Structures are given as C-alpha cells and as structure tokens.
Structure 1
Amino acid sequence: MTLSELIAQFRTLAFDKVEPYLFDDDSVIGWLNEAVKEACIRGQLLHECDDVDICQIAIKAGQVKYPTHPQLYEITHASLELTSINGGKRTPVCLVSFEEMDKADRDWRDDQDKHRLDPYFLIQHDTYVRLSRPTDEIGVLHLEVYRLPHKMSNDDDVPEIHLAHHEHLIDWALHKAFGVPDSEVFDLNKSEMAEQRFTNYFGFRPDSDLRRITRHDVPHTVKPFWV
C-alpha cells in the first residue's frame, strides 16, 4: 500500500472522510511512520547487510570506540577486516556485553596491548560500539544489523516492510489519533483496542533492559544454590 492508500484507509476506519478533517494529513503521516518504526522494532523486520553507511565502520589505529549509524537498531553479526588477521580476510568478532567481558577478564580495560593474538570482542551500546582492545592498523568493521525504516513523505512512498503487514500499521495510527487529548476526538476505549490489535500482530515492544541483555549470545542456564 502506498502512503496515500494508507491515509485513505485510516480515514475510512476513523470515520474522518469529510473535510475539514478531524486529523490533518501531517499528523496521520507522522503516526504511520511511527507505526512502521514500531513494527520494525517489535518484529525485527528490516535486516541490513549491504548499506555501507550503516554496515561498515572505518577502524583507526589505537581507537576502540566508534559511533553507530542512527538507523542501526541491533547488531546480528560482526567481522573485522585487518591486514594482520587472516591476510586481510574478514574475521568474525564475538558480540558480548560489558558484564560478560568483566566475567571473562576484569582487567580487560587496562590490558590494551595492540599486538595480542587472542580474538577481538565487540560491545554494542545504544549509540556506539567498542572493541575489546585497539588495533595497530586501519581496517573495516563489517556489520549485519536490524535497522529502523526510512520515513515516508510522498503519496507514492511505500513502507519498507512486507505488503502483508501494511494494513496492520493503521491500528497504530488509530491508537494515536483516538488518544489525542481533544474533546472532539478522544476515545480511550478505541485507542486501547487499536493498540492491542497492533500488539497482537507485531508483538510487544522490548524495553531497554531486555535489548541490552539480548545483545550477545550467552547460553541460558539455571544456576543451583544452597540455602
């Protein structure tokens, strides 16, 4: 569905087909763009491995911290391209958390020898990534990621997600529309029902703590203890 078709469908379901509209086009477009972003976050719908701006980071000698692209949401795979490793071939880098690095080696922040032969590790933060230690040469960090969508603005723009998902985006726009604190349009029941339909289809939004603890592959085990 194009953006204009989504807006028309929204107006049909919101009983807002007669001008002057209760909800202006700019607001509806904003809600629909927010819906696509919510869907991508909840369902991890956009996987990226080709966009150079998002998936490649230039590595500098002696530097460990690098900002990530604003559209990058979650890293699924990382590899390091350095001449000194495998003759310049990409070498997988293990994604870990600060907590896991501390468990493995509490002194890793101080032990920053560039010439060590053990593997590199990568820690993802909200807005940057950090190598476990600096390199002694330039290179490239290659990423495969889940990303956020591009915004729609033109009538013929289409959501980047699969066509099967498009009609369900309108539920989020209805949720936001009927949640506007205006006596003419506010309807808490309609707003909550639309949000629930959206959640039933795309799932719950992960909170920041859940995102943090799932950024690395750690076996989930039950640790026994004595009482």
Structure 2
Amino acid sequence: MNLSELIEAFRIESGDSVNKPYFWSDSYLTFLANEAESEACRRAWLLRDSTSSFCEVDVAADEPLITLDPAIITVLRARLSTVIGALSSITSTQMDDCEPLWETHAGRPTSYVPDYQTGALRLYPIPNVDDVLFMTVSRLPVRKMEDDEDVPEIRPEYHYALIHWMLYRAYMKQDADTFAPGKAAVSIAEFEKEFGKRSSARNETWQRERHTLGGNPIA
C-alpha cells in the first residue's frame, strides 16, 4: 500500500470519507502513517539493515567509541575489516568482572560494549590501528512517506495493520467530534496483535544493550 491507499483505507474504516471537511486532514494522517511505521519497527524490529551508509563506520586508532546513527534501534552484528569473524557483544558489568582495567587496554578489538554510553558502542580493546566497522542493525524507517505514491519500508503484508495505529491515535485526539476511547482501545488491540505490545523505555533500553545475551525482543 502507498500513502494515498493508507489514508483512503483509514477514511473507510473510520467513516471519515463522505463529508468534507474531513475530521482528520491528509497532513495529520500522513504524520500518523509515518508514526505507525516507526512504532511497528520499535516493537517488532522489522527492518534489518547491513548496507545503509550508517552501517559502515570508520574507526580511528586510539578512539574506542563508535557513534551510532539515531535510526539504529540495536546492533545485531558487528565486524572489523581487519578481523576475521564477528566481534562479540559484552556488557560493561561483565568486562568489570573479568578485566578490571579493561578501559585502558589497547590492541586489535575482539568485542564491543553496547551499554557503555548512550548512542554509541565501545570497542574492546581500544583499537591500535585505523579500521572500518561493518554492522548489521535493526533500525527505524529512514524514508518518510510524504507523496501519495510513497510506500512504507516494512514488508507489504504488514502495511494494512498500520491503519490500526492511525485509528488509535485519531480516536484519542481530544476533540468533541473525534474522541472515542472505546474505538481507540479496539484499534490499539488490533495493532498489538500484529506488532506486539510496547515496551517501557527502560525495557527497550535493556533489550538494545543486552539482546545478544537473551536473543529476540521481548513481547
């Protein structure tokens, strides 16, 4: 489905397709459609990427911190161009337990620490030569839908379910003509059937920093 079709389907489902002016403008529904796709990706990690420009980062000698693009939800895999095999993921607590002075060690990196600094990875040990880091990541959409023919980045079979989020947000709008908490509850329940329940910010951060220790996102 493209953006125009998402908006048309929303209007049919909500009954807002007959009389103009509509209760919800096209510009507002465009905002909700983009929000719905991002929300789906946060919940279900639908976009896996190894080829976008932010998946390849230059590594400078003596600089262990790698800044991550804001679109990255979590790093699923990382490897250096000069190292055979993927780097292992290890938490800062585990590093403290096994190598008390680990932050001072230098050499060819074998691991990365995902919970050392928000929005960054810390390589271990500190790289002693320039290198390139290649990552496979779960990410948010990076192309906003703006024109009628624009389509979501997620797979086509998930497109229609985005409408449930749009309905939920539209029905929760504080307006005498649109506020319908009962309908909103039904809509968010349908969205959650497809994409899962939202994690708290605390749990989402935990998943981002420790997913390699526990596997898949937690519903």
TM-score normalised by length of structure 2 = 0.88
2-side partners of 1:105 and 1:212: how far apart? 24
In the alignment, structure 1 residue 93 sits paired with structure 2 residue 93: no
Name the larger-Rg structure. Answer: 1
1:29 alignment partner, SS class = helix
Q: What do residues 19-73 of structure 1 show as CA deviations (whole Å, max 9, x unaligned)?
A: 101111111011111111111111111100111x221110001101121112111
Which runs of 5 or more residues in structure 1 are unaligned? Answer: 221-227
Show CA shifts across 1:89-117 (max 9, x none).
Answer: x44211122222222223212x32x24x6
Structure 1 ranges of 4+ moved more than 6 A: none
Q: Which residue of 2 aligns with 1:103?
A: 97
Shift in Å, 1:181: 0.8
Question: 1:152-204 CA distances to partner (integer Å, 9 max, x unpaired)?
Answer: 11100111111111111000000000101111111111112111110111101
Supply the RMSD in Å over aligned alpha carbons.
1.9
2-structure distance, mates of 1:219, 1:202: 20
Which amino acid in 1 is paired with 2:185?
E
What is the 5 A alignment of 1:73-152? 73-82=73-82, 85=83, 90-109=84-103, 111-112=104-105, 114-115=106-107, 120-124=110-114, 125-149=117-141, 150-152=143-145
User: Where does the alignment leave 5 or more consecutive residues of structure 2 unmatched?
Assistant: none
2:168 maps to which residue?
175
Identical columns (%) = 28
| Secondary structure class of the residue paired with 1:21 | coil
Letter in 2 for 1:30: F
Alpha-carbon distance in 1 for matches of 2:214, 2:187 = 37
What is the aligned partner in structure 2 of residue 223 from structure 1?
A: none
Read off the aligned partner of 1:94 and give its amino acid letter: S
Q: How does 1:1-227 map to 2 (within 5 A)?
A: 1-17=1-17, 18-51=19-52, 53-82=53-82, 85=83, 90-109=84-103, 111-112=104-105, 114-115=106-107, 120-124=110-114, 125-149=117-141, 150-214=143-207, 215-216=209-210, 217-218=212-213
If the length of structure 1 is used for normalisation, what is the TM-score? 0.85
Q: 1:129 to 1:191 in 2, by over 3 A?
A: same
AA at the equivalent of 2:111: F
How many residue pairs were aligned? 209
- Distance (Å, rounded) in 2 between the aligned partners of 1:13 and 1:128: 42
SS of 2:159's partner is helix
- CA shift, 1:219, in A, is 6.7
How far apart, in 1, do the equivalents of 2:201 and 2:98 lie? 24
